[in-house]
Structure 1
Amino acid sequence: MKPLASLPSMALLMSCVVAASAQDIRAKRAPDAAAGDARRYDFKFRASEIDPRAKPHPELGFVFEKDGKPADFENAAVDTRVKPQGRLVIWLMGHNGQLFDRLAGYGLHAIQVHYANGWFGTFGKEPPPADTMHLGKIRLEAATGEDHSGLVVIPKPDGMKERALQLVKRLAKANPPGHWEQFIAPGGDDLLWDKVTMAGSSHGSTTAARFAIHQKVGRVVMLCGPRDQYETWQGLPSATPGNRFFGFSHVLDGGWKGDHYCRSWLLLGLNKFGPVVNVDKVLAPYGDSRRLVTDADVKGDEKRAHGAVTPGGSAVKDAAGKYIHEDVWKYLFNHPVDKVGESVPPETGCRMNLKKN
């Protein structure tokens, strides 16, 4: 397997770190890399301190403290030394510092929000109910804080959408050099969603896709997902154009082997923008496809394969210790959405009905 080219060392991004809480912001500054306030900033806030309306929902795994320690931290990063793209990434899983290093290095603003997303263990059990929108409705309520499901009650302050808005508002005040206000709509009651990239892995990538079908966004990055393999919401008319969805999976991931991801990709209509491309055999820009896979060596470990498509401990490295998928991550978050591959027919080998009789 030919390793992909890696990005320049991300160590340059760490010349300055700003640690912040809702009460105070203390900057630890190294010598400036450029004039003015150009440096890397990292922030950490508690959601419950940003918005007093926020409430815990222990029935959904949405709590503010666990084992006596804060459990509602939200994170953000921006590097003002890098030419800004004017785009905000909202990451829907736990904070991933290595991913945020890369996003900041691309000139993107990045946030990770704490919202009511722990419901899957209760409502995602098999056998699936007859309602083929069952999980999709819960995902949409968790994302929007609006009433979409009769099974949960998630008010606006506890949904992802409001959590993201309140975090960006706090960042606009805490970090003027970051110009976070550029993502807030006139009037201050919403984000400018056309500037937003929704991103996540696994459960998070599935919610990112569901939200993007409901709300038009600038881009969607789906790592090891989407799932909800018994549902049909993936085929609903989408507010976000199909060419803005990007997926990446390992072929040993159980979700890939079980046809969960290929099914979702086809329901989303991503075959209209190119075939499934193995990134270990085709160099960037991968034929401008939206459907990328890898068969990189994970020692046959299905669980590692699930996380191997995200920067971190499960990701695959070359002999020099560098991640082999740096070009893939850069492509997923930066490739122009108007550049697309040639349409291909749906793959007949991907099962579309996965319900057990």
Structure 2
Amino acid sequence: MSVWKSGLLCLFLVSVLTFTQNANAADKNESTLSKDKQPQRYRLQARASQLDPRTKEYPEINFVFGTKEKPQDLENASVDTRVESKGKLVIWLMGHNDGLFERLNSYGLHAIQVSYANKWFGILCQPAPKDEQARGNVRLEAATGEDFSDELNLAKSDGMSERAYQFVKWLAKENPQGNWSQFLTSDGKELRWDKVIIAGSSHGSTTAARFAQHQRVDRVVMHCGPRDQDQDWQANSSATPANRFFGFSHVLDGGWTGKHYCRSWELLKLNQYGPIVNVDQQSTPFQNTRRLISAAEVKGDAKRAHSSVTPGGSSPKDGKGNYLYEPVWKYLYTHPVDDVGMPTPLDPDCQ
């Protein structure tokens, strides 16, 4: 065989081998990220105490498992495989709200609600916090399971972050159609926090903000929060940049009338990314701001106002029965974090 023909044959064999290897790699990748053969919205539940045998109860702060008939450590998850995934996981730090989760799934987001030590409020830091970081330290220990507070003594397995990891690890096996494994590191030993949106309402939104200062996340969404008006932790340095924090509250909410929200928003430096915008008067993208309010009709009820900013019976609707805040919720969770509003000065009346 001539040198020319021999070289041509070698080139042909190398090309075939390369094609085969690439095809095998593509097949493997496709099998990992394959589309659901029966696209649908999946809703899953599990008990934290059954997912991880290391979990413990802390009855001194009402952090218990409950009974088989009335579990108190139930965790919820959902994903809609009919919607193109944005590759983001929302971790919700409050009671499960399927109305909210349904919307998150429609945006292409995965969502979970985890059981964590969130009932300490009213028990610890009483009758008043010992200093300006006390509540924040309790929140951070509840979120991480690490030792940040001398008023709480949690094991890491009982912090929000570890319970979220154990839940996602279970979901990856239980619901492969949902591709939950994308939220785990390549070695499967941790969550991909860069893909996490940490969110909550009220007490949960305040803990979400404190946790995001400690751990960089993709985004923070704070419904009716944060508060902790007797604390200064909101001004701490933050691992998560301020432009990634989004807040929404009603003006009749006690947290607004007491100027707690506007104070926290300014301590978090959200005024650097736009003015306070009334969503009743402006449409999306709301001047690209991070501070949203509403004065929609809530029957003059402060408690109703507090819960109105998430889907539910208190949230105002139009004449056709549609929620007024649909565009607001989508904005909070999907607005590009690099699109920001114009800086505004601090409000001297916001104390």
TM-score, normalising length: structure 1: 0.87
- Residues 289-310 of structure 1: CA distance to partner in whole angstroms, max 9, x if unpaired? 0000000001100000000001
Question: Which residues of 2 match residues 268-307 of structure 1 at below 5 A?
Answer: 268-307=268-307
Query: Alignment length, in residue pairs?
Result: 317
Aligned to 1:213: 213
Aligned to 1:57: 58
SS of 1:36's partner is: coil
Kept after mapping to 1: 8 A contact 2:243/2:340: yes
Question: Which residues of 2 match residues 182-331 of structure 1 at below 5 A?
Answer: 182-331=182-331
Deviates more, 1:300-309 or 1:185-194: 185-194
- Taking a change above 3 Å as real, the CA distance of residues 129 and 335 of structure 1, as seen in their structure-2 partners, is same
Q: Does 1:100 align with 2:101?
A: yes
- Residues 158-178 of structure 1: CA distance to partner in whole angstroms, max 9, x if unpaired? 000000000000000001111
**How much has 1:139 moved relative to structure 2?**
0.3
- Taking a change above 3 Å as real, the CA distance of residues 59 and 66 of structure 1, as seen in their structure-2 partners, is farther
Distance (Å, rounded) in 1 between the aligned partners of 2:227 and 2:126: 13
- Taking a change above 3 Å as real, the CA distance of residues 146 and 333 of structure 1, as seen in their structure-2 partners, is same
Distance (Å, rounded) in 1 between the aligned partners of 2:115 and 2:81: 25
SS of 1:280's partner is: coil
Distance (Å, rounded) in 2 between the aligned partners of 1:273 and 1:293: 15
Aligned to 1:46: 47
- Residues 304-334 of structure 1: CA distance to partner in whole angstroms, max 9, x if unpaired? 0000001111100111111000000000000
Distance (Å, rounded) in 2 between the aligned partners of 1:35 and 1:315: 34
Q: Does 1:91 align with 2:92?
A: yes
**How much has 1:187 moved relative to structure 2?**
2.2
TM-score, normalising length: structure 2: 0.88
Distance (Å, rounded) in 2 between the aligned partners of 1:156 and 1:263: 32
**How much has 1:35 moved relative to structure 2?**
7.0
Task: Pick 1 or 2: higher relative contact order, CA cutoff 8 A, min separation 6.
Answer: 1
**How much has 1:130 moved relative to structure 2?**
3.9
Distance (Å, rounded) in 2 between the aligned partners of 1:223 and 1:332: 9
SS of 2:247's partner is: strand
Aligned to 2:118: 117
* Aligned-pair identity (%): 61
Distance (Å, rounded) in 1 between the aligned partners of 2:235 and 2:303: 28
Amino acid at match of 1:60: I
**How much has 1:189 moved relative to structure 2?**
2.1
Aligned to 1:4: none
Question: Which residues of 2 match residues 15-164 of structure 1 at below 5 A?
Answer: 36-65=37-66, 69-126=70-127, 128-164=128-164
Amino acid at match of 1:83: E
Distance (Å, rounded) in 1 between the aligned partners of 2:310 and 2:36: 34
Distance (Å, rounded) in 1 between the aligned partners of 2:198 and 2:307: 18
SS of 2:122's partner is: helix
Amino acid at match of 1:303: K
Distance (Å, rounded) in 2 between the aligned partners of 1:68 and 1:124: 32
- Residues 189-209 of structure 1: CA distance to partner in whole angstroms, max 9, x if unpaired? 211111000000000000000
Point out where structure 1 has 5 or more consecutive residues left out of the alignment: 1-33, 352-357
Amino acid at match of 1:181: S
Kept after mapping to 1: 8 A contact 2:129/2:135: no
The alignment's C-alpha RMSD in Å is 1.3
Distance (Å, rounded) in 1 between the aligned partners of 2:130 and 2:350: 22
Amino acid at match of 1:331: Y
Question: Which residues of 2 match residues 160-179 of structure 1 at below 5 A?
Answer: 160-179=160-179
Distance (Å, rounded) in 2 between the aligned partners of 1:304 and 1:125: 27
Kept after mapping to 1: 8 A contact 2:36/2:81: no
Higher helix fraction: Structure 1 or Structure 2? Answer: 2
Point out where structure 2 has 5 or more consecutive residues left out of the alignment: 1-34
SS of 1:123's partner is: coil
